[in-house]
Chain A
């Protein structure tokens, strides 16, 4: 089982719709969860970080965390063509003080005008 898995893409949604991106992780003691957006040919850009169970909202983005189910998601409301990118889920554990951040393979999102 891979450490961090994301729903396979590409995901296509019409402009104005809600895009839902999902991520599961295998390390039950993981405590920190991050979503990055990466445009083609660019480096990843941090969108959201979430540490506690529940929802965290920032503008059109909502991150949802369920540690019991080892599941984290990112919702993008009112999707825009400029949201078309690859979204990377990243998880940091606590087995050691300097645990590394593990990235998922990414989900490619295409917002159709």
Chain B
């Protein structure tokens, strides 16, 4: 079974630009969560989508947004990029949402550098 895929793997942008990252979950998985990982802050939750609906949101500004499509693929968008947005953005898929017994599997990540 193919794992979680994320595109692009690497991205370089300049301040003020916007960026869209894509995530395809494991086949049969319907929940997608997004995380930001930086050396200083560690792994921080951005949001979770299930059945095309945002189910949970972390403490990030409104510049960070996402959506999920009917095939469970998800995209996240960051507008008006800031230097501090440079990070590894990770997508994790799980079978469902709303269950405590729900293992998440991570994709390879997108490394975003903002210049």
A residues adjacent to B (C-beta < 8 A): 31-32, 34, 36, 42-46, 49, 51, 88, 92, 94, 96-106
Contacts and interface: CB of A to CB of B under 8 A. Distances in A.
28 contacts: A32-B100, A32-B102, A34-B103, A34-B104, A36-B106, A43-B88, A43-B90, A43-B108, A44-B43, A44-B90, A46-B104, A49-B103, A92-B102, A94-B100, A97-B98, A98-B48, A98-B55, A98-B56, A98-B97, A100-B33, A100-B48, A100-B58, A102-B45, A103-B43, A103-B44, A103-B45, A105-B42, A106-B42
A109 B106 CA distance: 21
B25 interface: no
Contacts of A45: 106
A16 B105 CA distance: 29
B48 A43 contact: no
Interface on chain B toward A: helix, strand, loop, or mixed SS? strand
Contacts of B58: 100
Nearest to A96: B56
B109 interface: yes
Interface of B: 33, 35, 42-45, 48, 50, 55-56, 58, 88, 90, 97-98, 100-109
A102 B56 CA distance: 12
Nearest to A36: B106
A94 B100 CA distance: 7
B8 to A, nearest CB: 15
